[in-house]
Copies of this chain bind each other. A is one copy, B any other.
């Protein structure tokens, strides 16, 4: 890899830049971003070597598209228009069906690999980039069969060096499952934060009485609205389904409390404790 281009030098793009620099020291890393301040920051932080434009993409070995998912579906076709024959283009968005549809008939579809690295934090922007973000994380790859075999190999080699586990899935299954294990968590967290902020106008009270448990459940409410609004938009139907089930479970819990049926509450909590085993590999 001689030339890597990162479109969107935020948390994910920036962390990938850090990893590529470490693993492939010979690679020159170029950055593109609609936010020029972010590009300057990325230069200062040493994430990228130079700024670039779409015209430069013809020189790219690898292009990483790490921008909000609504912009990604507009930009990806332009990226595929601009690249050379052997350029690998990967995206890293949290929804996969819309981006796959956006290029399904593009003449350079075989240069593109749709991925979703399950990695990140609640922070955003170049300063949020961190070393080793992808190590031991899962990368979900969609529609692998639509990517040229040589470019699949190139991508898998990169992910292997990053220390990632690979899992293949079709875009529809990805979007459905991810609504449960990621998108719903963000809404539950944002609405928990909202409920508490609304009630507790005196912030000093929240601060004093809130412990690490509360901090943990509302952590995702710090996430970027610019990133998450388009995710909810693109995965609307799946997310609404998860929300309906979540609201139904909360409503049932409330009813059990109103009915003083604390034995059922106790046994429901025991059943859900089982999440310990499921999560043992993540924490």
Chain A residues close to B by CB (< 8 Å) = 118-122, 137-138, 140, 165, 167, 174, 177-178, 180-182, 184-200, 203, 205-223, 225-226, 228-230, 232-233, 236, 239-240, 242-247, 249-251, 253-254, 257-258, 260, 262, 265-276, 278-279, 281-283
Contact = CB atoms under 8 A, between A and B. Distances in A.
By DSSP majority rule, is chain A's interface helix, strand, loop, or mixed? helix
A195 B281 contact: no
A225 B181 contact: no
Contact of A213 (B195, B220, B242): B220
Given A138-B209, A192-B246, A266-B225, A217 B214 contact: no
A177 B274 CA distance: 29
Number of copies: 2
B182 A210 contact: yes
18 contacts: A119-B211, A137-B211, A138-B209, A165-B208, A177-B206, A180-B195, A180-B199, A191-B246, A191-B253, A194-B249, A197-B272, A217-B217, A217-B220, A222-B273, A225-B273, A229-B265, A244-B254, A247-B247
A222 B138 contact: no
Given A180-B196, A196-B180, A225-B266, A278 B207 contact: yes
Contacts of A177: 200, 205-206, 209
A73 B199 CA distance: 29
A169 to B, nearest CB: 8
Nearest to A230: B262
A122 B211 CA distance: 12
Given A187-B250, A243-B253, A254-B240, A194 B272 contact: yes
Given A247-B254, A250-B247, A275-B193, A211 B282 contact: yes
B274 A197 contact: yes
Contact of A249 (B120, B191, B217): B191
A68 to B, nearest CB: 11
Contacts of A223: 269, 273
A258 B267 CA distance: 34
